[in-house]
């Protein structure tokens, strides 16, 4: 199994959207990229730790590629918002790909460049490509939140505008 790390705004929604992919075996919500060990949700939301709400995606590379995962991230977020994601704003909600090696870095940068070169959006993509520093699993109540709290999750997701953005992303750049 390989692992990949992404920030796409609310980790509940990012987790849910990655779980749908064939070849993804597990998705864990957590915090990546900051300077505090084992931060809490409250610390990350305070915007003082440097972490982003993120997901750890375990996947079978014989079934799904890293390239597909990066492209999927762009499709499930508002990729041009450098200040957050939907109604969640602040550094902890900004999009990023955390690469583990030079190959992953090159793939992420290439995919972002390809989206930008198509001039799909009026603004360039705001997805940062950052070296992996750390990942800390979020508190248990955040894991599989959509299953534990389906009503609250559904209301949150509907109100966030994420599903409309996903629809727009896929209409603007359909999968080939």
Catalytic (active-site) positions: 10
Query: 55 has which bridge partners?
Result: 6, 29
Is the CB of residue 173 less than 8 Å from the CB of residue 115? yes
Taking the alpha carbons at both ends of the chain, their separation in whole angstroms is 26
Q: Scanning the structure block, which residue is given the tokens 């849910």?
A: 16
E-only strand ranges, the chain: 2-7, 24-32, 52-59, 84-85, 88-89, 96-99, 128-131, 135-137
């Amino acid at each position: 199994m390989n692992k990949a790390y992404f920030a796409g705004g609310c980790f509940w929604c990012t987790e849910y959207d990655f779980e749908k992919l064939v070849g993804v075996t597990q998705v864990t919500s957590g915090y990546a990229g900051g300077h505090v060990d084992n931060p809490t949700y409250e610390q990350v939301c305070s915007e003082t730790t440097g972490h982003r709400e993120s997901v750890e995606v375990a996947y079978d590379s014989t079934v799904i590629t890293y390239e597909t995962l990066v492209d999927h991230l762009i499709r499930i977020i508002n990729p041009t918002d450098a200040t957050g994601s939907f109604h969640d704003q602040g550094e902890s909600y900004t999009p990023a790909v955390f690469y583990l090696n030079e190959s992953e870095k090159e793939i992420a940068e290439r995919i972002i460049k390809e989206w930008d070169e198509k001039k799909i959006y009026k603004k360039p993509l705001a997805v940062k490509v950052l070296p992996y520093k750390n990942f800390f699993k979020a508190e248990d109540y955040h894991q599989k939140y959509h299953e534990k709290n389906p009503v609250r999750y559904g209301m949150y997701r509907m109100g966030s505008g994420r599903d409309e953005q996903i629809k727009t992303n896929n209409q603007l750049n359909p999968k080939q």
